[in-house]
Amino acid sequence: MFDHLQIYVPRERLLVGVADLLLAPLAWWRRRRPVAVPARVLLLRLERIGDLLMVLDAVAAAQEAWPSAEVDLAVGSWNEPLAALIPGLHHIERADVPWLTREGMGLSWRQLLARARQWRTRRYDLVVVFEPDIRTNFLGWLTGAGRRIGYGTGGGGALLTDALSYDPAAHVSTNALNLIRRAAGAGPLPTPPTRRLMPDRTAVAAAGAILAGAQPTRLIGLHVSGGRESKQWHLARFAEVGRALADEAGATLVLTGGVTDRVMVDEVRLMLGDRPVVDAAGALDLPGAAALLGRLDVLITGDTGPMHLAAAMGTPVVALFGPSDPARYGPLIDRRRVLRVQLPCSPCGQVRLPPERCRGHVPDCMDGITAEVVIRAARELLRETRKQATPAEEAH
C-alpha cells in the first residue's frame, strides 16, 4: 500500500499515505496562476550542514536560470552562517523546524505556521522544496506561491504544482538540479564553479590566526569524528595515517572538529607524538572553518559535514564511507578519493539506527578500510595538487 512513497518504516508510510489522501483536495485551493519568469523565488533547504552544501549547485543554477529574480533561501539557524557565504542570494530566511531540532529548541508548529504566513507577504512566484518530506511540502504550500516544485515521494505531492519522484540511486545534488531544471524548463544547466562559498575577511583572518604558528609546509587535515557511531573510523588509524604523511611529506597536521569532538581529538593528538600539529577543534565558527578547510592541501575524513564543506571550498578530500552510499552523498569535487569496502550488507543506509550487530564498536564496513589504503589515497591527491595551484595559492 502507498507504494509511491519512499518511506521505509511501514508505520510512517501508512500515516503519510493516509495524510496524502486527506490532503488531495488542497491541490486546487489557493492556487495562483504561475508566471513565465518568476520575480521572487524561495528555495527551502531546512536540513543539516551537508544537506545544504549538497544543493549549492542547484542554488547557483537557480540564480543562473533567473538572473533578474530575487532568490531567497530558507535554512535552519545552524546553517545561517554558511548560507551567508553563498554569493548572490537576495535574502536568507531562518526556520528551525521541530523535526530537525533537539526537543524544545525549535519553533513550535504555531510559530512555524506564522513564519510561513510571513513568507506569503513576499508573494513568491516560485517555491522549490529540496526535501522529500510532507511537512516541508506543507510549508511550501503555505507560501501561496503560484508554482511549487518538489518531491511527491516523501508525501504531500498534492501540495505541489509539480511533484517529481526522488531518484534514490542518484546524488542529492543531481536530484536538486532536476527540480531547478523542471522549474526552468531548460536543457543542460551550467557547470557550477569549483569553489562555491566565499568566506568574508573576518573568517579568513580567523583561519589565518589559527594557522599562524604552522610551519610553511603542506597542510593535511584530519577530521577524526564520524559524527555518528555508525560512521566512526578507528582513532588509532587516523593517527597512523597522520604520522605516516607527516613523516614522508614533511607536512603539518591540522586537527578539525567541534567542541563536542574534544575527547577524540585529544586522543589522536597524543598518538601523533611530536609531529607538527595545529589543533583547530572547536576554535572556529562555520565561516572560519570553511576558510580553514580552504587552506588545506587535503582533508581526510569520514562522511561528514566538513567533508562537504572542504569540497565546497575546492579542497581535495579523502572520504571514508561505511553505511552511507557515496553515489548519493559523496563529496562534490573532482579531486577526491572515496574509500569503502564492499560487503553484502553495505551500504545499508542505516546511519541513525544501525543494526544491533553494528552498535557499540566500529562497524565492519568502516573497520575494513585500512590505514594503508587511506595513506595511498592521500599520497595520490598530494601528487596531483603539486601539478596545479592549491586552494591557498588560488586565494592569494
Predicted pLDDT of residue 23:
73
102 & 247 share domain:
no
Predicted pLDDT of residue 353:
81
pTM here? Answer: 0.90
CATH number of the domain at 168, please. Answer: 3.40.50.2000
Q: How many domains does one find in the chain? A: 2
Rounded (to 5) percent helix, strand, coil in the chain: 45, 15, 45
Dihedral, CA of residue 128, residue 131, residue 132 and residue 134, to nearest 10: -80
Report pLDDT digits (tens) over 384-394: 876 554 444 44
Choose one of 159, 184, 209: the last residue of a domain: 184
Report pLDDT digits (tens) over 184-197: 986 666 666 555 79
Evaluate whether residue 38 is within a structural domain. Answer: yes
160 & 252 share domain:
no
Query: Can you read off the three cell numbers belonging to residue 253?
Result: 597536521
Helices 286-293 and 201-210, interaxial angle, to 10°?
A: 60
162 & 223 share domain:
no
What is the residue type of 83? A
Pairing mode of beta strands 317-320, 162-164: unpaired
Intervals of the chain under pLDDT 70: 1, 3, 5, 7-9, 11, 13-18, 20-21, 26-35, 102-104, 186-195, 386-396
Host domain of residue 274: 201-395
Over its C-alpha atoms, the chain yields an Rg (Å, rounded) of 22
Report pLDDT digits (tens) over 301-323: 999 999 999 999 999 999 999 99
Evaluate whether residue 191 is within a structural domain. Answer: no
Whole-number average pLDDT of the chain? 89
Predicted pLDDT of residue 293:
97
For 394, phi then psi, to 5°, come to -65, -35
Distance between CA 238 and CA 266 in Å, rounded? 12
Evaluate whether residue 193 is within a structural domain. Answer: no
Q: What percent of the chain has pLDDT over 70?
A: 87
180 & 231 share domain:
no
Predicted pLDDT of residue 394:
45
380: enclosing H helix or E strand: helix 371-386
263 & 360 share domain:
yes
161 & 279 share domain:
no
